Structure 1
Amino acid sequence: MNMSVKVLELSGILDGIRGNELRREVSGILANGADILLLDMKEVNFIDSSGLGALVSAMQMTRNANAKLFVCSISDQVRMLFELTKMDRIFQTFADQDEFNRQILATQ
């Protein structure tokens, strides 16, 4: 089965404004038929509560589209935030795109 994979590279601060952009981008990607969405967050240096809400919204939209969402390359600060807010239980994260490719794409 040929899966459609889309990588979305995020950067800077994930706040309310950027969160709304993320929701629109994810919606468009899913509308175009992506089966798997990888959010590469190596350039994200801060996430506020609105940004966390946007990530949860992206996960819900992805699930509703019968697709899968994964996250990679999170900084130590973002990892700590994920752990404090229990988001690490919601999002499957990978060290980087290479690890994602080895573990997920190799099994598809």
Structure 2
Amino acid sequence: MDTTVQVLTPSGILDGTKAQEIRSQVDSALSSGSNVLLMDLKDTTFVDSSGLGTLVSVLKTVRSRDCEMYVCSINPQVKMLFELTSMDRVFEIYENREAFEASR
């Protein structure tokens, strides 16, 4: 199976107000034939609980379509949230986009 990677780069604060935008981007990427999504959070400054819920929700959507989703470039504050909520065990996280590409 060919792997088509789509990189999504949300920016600013990832909260409930961005949830629909992210879901739409994920649906669009999957509909266009991408089977691997990389959520590059390099421009994301903060993630709150509803933003984290959105990431979990889109991960479920991606997995339900037999696709894969990865996360990269999280800042220390977001990393702490992922660790406190054990989401670092749910998501496969790469240091940056280059590390993700090197693993492919």
TM-score by length of 1: 0.93
Where does residue 8 of structure 1 map in the other structure? 8
SS in 1 for 2:74: coil
Tell me the distance in 2 between the aligned counterparts of 1:76 and 1:82. 10
Partner amino acid, structure 2, of 1:6: Q
> What is the root-mean-square deviation of aligned Cα atoms in Å?
0.8
Tell me the distance in 2 between the aligned counterparts of 1:100 and 1:2. 17
Where does residue 39 of structure 1 map in the other structure? 39
Tell me the distance in 2 between the aligned counterparts of 1:19 and 1:41. 14
**1:83-98 mapped onto 2 (5 Å cutoff):** 83-98=83-98
Instruction: Indicate the percent of aligned positions where both proteins have the same amino acid.
Output: 45
Where does residue 49 of structure 2 map in the other structure? 49
Partner amino acid, structure 1, of 2:23: R
Q: List runs of 5+ in structure 2 lacking aligned partners.
A: none
CA shift for structure 1 position 2? 2.3
TM-score by length of 2: 0.96
CA shift for structure 1 position 49? 1.1
Q: List runs of 5+ in structure 1 lacking aligned partners.
A: none
SS in 2 for 1:88: coil
Q: After the TM superposition, which parts of structure 1 deviate over 6 Å for at least 4 consecutive aligned residues?
A: none
Count of residues in correspondence between the two structures: 104
